Amino acid sequence: MDDIMIALRWIHIAAGMIALFVAPGAMVTVKGGRAHRRWGKVYFWSMATVAVTALALAVWRPNYFLLMVAVFSFYLALSAYRALFRKRPSGAGALDWTSTLATLVASVGLVILGLVQPSPVWQRLGVVAIVFGAIGAVVAGRHAWHFVRPSTDRQAWWFDHMIGMLASYIATVTAFSVVNFTFLPPVVRWLWPTLVGTPLIAAWVSYYKGRFRRRSAATPAVS
């Protein structure tokens, strides 16, 4: 059993490194183009591998903090991937609802355990658990709301896809930081990618919303 877990750990590390380095390829290529789709798929399936192995490792040596963080982190990538399908009339399906509700439960659990701090792990990383749990609850809650009341914005799926992918990349950078940036205090190692990346995503959203508005204004109305 130990040999299997060691193998899973190396698979987890390899998949995480692949995700870390291929994501920029999807970011800089033309959105919707062949290269963008190719690198995006490699990134998504690398993240799926990271999530599956993380869950197995967290169950093998019970670590509920990492278990719930793994659920939250992969949900960002999964919801982004599923946004490509939700732009179609069929809307949200069973996978969307199941993953969203699971993430909502895990996120609320992170917040509660971060506040209660029942063990040394939670005492050291209580702030991290609360921050990640709050973000996860907001993201999953927003998605559930839009499943019931779809946005009237025709570009909503596009923003959901790109925000989810970028946010999941923040999670990837966070994992790299936690393992390698040991010169930083633990809480800083966990949170600096979120503190840096969130404003960048907000700026990116603002830029593209303006771009879409200008494009819409420049398009003649069809009578």
pLDDT tier, 5 (very low <50, low <70, confident <90, very high otherwise):
confident
Give the number of domains in the chain: 1
Task: Give domain status of residue 147, yes or no.
Answer: yes
To which H or E segment does residue 218 belong?
Answer: helix 186-218
Determine the pLDDT at residue 223: 45
Containing domain of residue 194, as a range? 63-215
Task: Give domain status of residue 112, yes or no.
Answer: yes
Token pair, residue 114, equals 């971060």
Task: Give domain status of residue 26, yes or no.
Answer: no
**Cα 136 from Cα 151, distance rounded (Å):** 20
Rounded to 5 degrees, what angle do the CA atoms 57, 62, 66 make? 65
Task: Give domain status of residue 35, yes or no.
Answer: no
Determine the pLDDT at residue 161: 92
Task: Give domain status of residue 141, yes or no.
Answer: yes
Task: Give domain status of residue 27, yes or no.
Answer: no
Determine the pLDDT at residue 90: 57
Task: Give domain status of residue 18, yes or no.
Answer: no
Task: Give domain status of residue 20, yes or no.
Answer: no
DSSP code string of 110-162: HHHHHHH--SHHHHHSHHHHHHHHHHHHHHHHHHHHHHHS--S-TTHHHHHHH
